[in-house]
A and B are shown apart, each in its own frame.
Chain A
Amino acid sequence: MAAEEHGEGLAFHPMDQFIVRPLFGEGDVGVFTITNATLWMALSVLAIALLFIVGTRGRAIVPTRVQSIAELAYGFIHKMVEDVAGKEALAFFPYIFTVFLFIVFSNFLGLLPMAFTPTSHIAVTAVLAIGVFLTVTIVGFAKNGAGFLGLFWVSSAPLALRPILALIEIISYFVRPVSHSIRLAGNMMAGHAVIKVFAAFAPLILLSTIGIAVTPLSIIAITAMYGLEILVAFIQAYVFTILTCVYLKDALHPHH
């Protein structure tokens, strides 16, 4: 109600934070233009380099605080790859770790006020998911040859059902990169947009008396959403990584 009444004064641009624009000057976004997306990806890479190169510089047997964070992250993903996809999958550990760190740092840096979140863009998450999809498919055929197609042939099901199941399995296999990428981008985008919507209500107190009630509520809502988003930022990176491990396990051991 309040929003409709005072709509002219309130600025609702919840999606503007996702606009990719050149960092220097105006104009079109070309392939090599340095944009805000470039900046925040670079900041992620920089932060990771700080943590994993500067932080582990001491190579201490008794780690410093920063070094133990790096070791914790290493151990977390290393164990995940080994537990979910098996020992052979450790060859892909650097790749999976790269993906995990990029997502987790982009998500968290994106939570800074005025920040840009590369992982809220389907273009980014789709490239990540297609990369995983191609890797898994190539590894599957390289390791098992035609045996990889056994993934789609559910040998434990009754024979009559198997062709139907195979069709479903094939469809679900090709839907994987879609759900894999939309899940991450959708989560990041929705959370940021909701925070922005609540934020747009916050200055209502300057325009109307009803703002006395609405402004504190919206600030509380922003705070609560922000807490949730911190959780989501980690969980989505975790989900993306563990699904990568699960897909990799299918490629290495395609038998149900």
Chain B
Amino acid sequence: MSAETAAEHGAAAAHGAEAASSGGMPQLDFATFPNQIFWLVVALVVLYFILSRVALPRIGSVLAERTGTITNDIAAAETYKQQAAEAEAAYHKALDDARAAAAKVVEESRAEIQKELDVAIAKADAEIAARTAESEARIGEIRDSAAEAVSTVAKDTTKEILGVFGVKADARSVTSSVNARLKGGAA
């Protein structure tokens, strides 16, 4: 409704000088076409040169530079990450090496101590054996000398007793009888 009335009144208002020349629609006023086309071409040519000579190469290079920077940064981040991983691996390796070395040192010192211990034990054993043997020898000696002393005392005593009884003691028979008695006593 409103559009219709508007059109009517638009047509009615067409008695203005400019509106009359355009017949209601300025778009169809062909007298203005050369002017519009001329200035349009001027505007487009100016615009084309502004854009293609200055603006587009500039923006293109900025975008390329940005892409390059981002790519480089990502690559650098990758390198740093790898370095961090390497450092971690090196750390773990060092730790393992240190553990292994420590274990080896422990093992070695244990073996050494064991060896020393073995030597000391062997030496102690040998000494103990030697002392035992010596002691036994001395005990045997003491026993022998004691037995000898007993027999000597017995012979002397026998000789003395026989001497008291006035009997001339025969050394050989005394000795043999004492020895026999000693053996018997021992038995």
Contact = CB atoms under 8 A, between A and B. Distances in A.
Interface in B13-59: 13, 16, 18-19, 22, 24-29, 31-44, 46-48, 50-52, 54-56, 58-59
B3 interface: yes
Interface stretch (A119-127, A223-231, A233-241): A119-127
Given A13-B13, A93-B56, A48 B50 contact: yes
Given A18-B26, A45-B50, A61 B35 contact: no
B40 A74 contact: no
A7 B38 contact: no
Contacts of A124: 36-37, 40
B36 A118 contact: yes
Interface residues of B, number: 50
B66 interface: yes
A5 to B, nearest CB: 11
Interface stretch (A97-105, A152-160, A161-169, A245-253): A97-105
B58 A29 contact: no
B65 interface: yes
B177 interface: no
A29 B62 contact: no
Contacts of A21: 18
A61 B66 contact: yes
B5 A41 contact: no
A13 B13 CA distance: 7
A114 interface: no
A30 interface: yes
Given A14-B10, A52-B51, A102-B47, A61 B25 contact: no
Contacts of A28: 31
B183 interface: no
B46 A37 contact: no
Nearest to B22: A19
Contacts of A74: 56, 59-60, 63
Contacts of A41: 39-40, 42-43
A41 B29 CA distance: 19
A215 to B, nearest CB: 13
A220 interface: no
B61 interface: yes
A210 interface: no
Contacts of B65: 61
A38 interface: yes
B172 interface: no
Given A3-B5, A131-B44, 4 more contacts: A12-B5, A20-B32, A37-B36, A121-B27
28 contacts: A4-B5, A13-B13, A14-B10, A15-B24, A15-B25, A16-B26, A29-B31, A29-B35, A31-B34, A48-B47, A48-B50, A52-B51, A59-B61, A60-B62, A71-B63, A74-B63, A94-B51, A98-B44, A98-B48, A99-B44, A101-B51, A118-B36, A122-B28, A124-B40, A185-B27, A194-B3, A197-B3, A200-B6
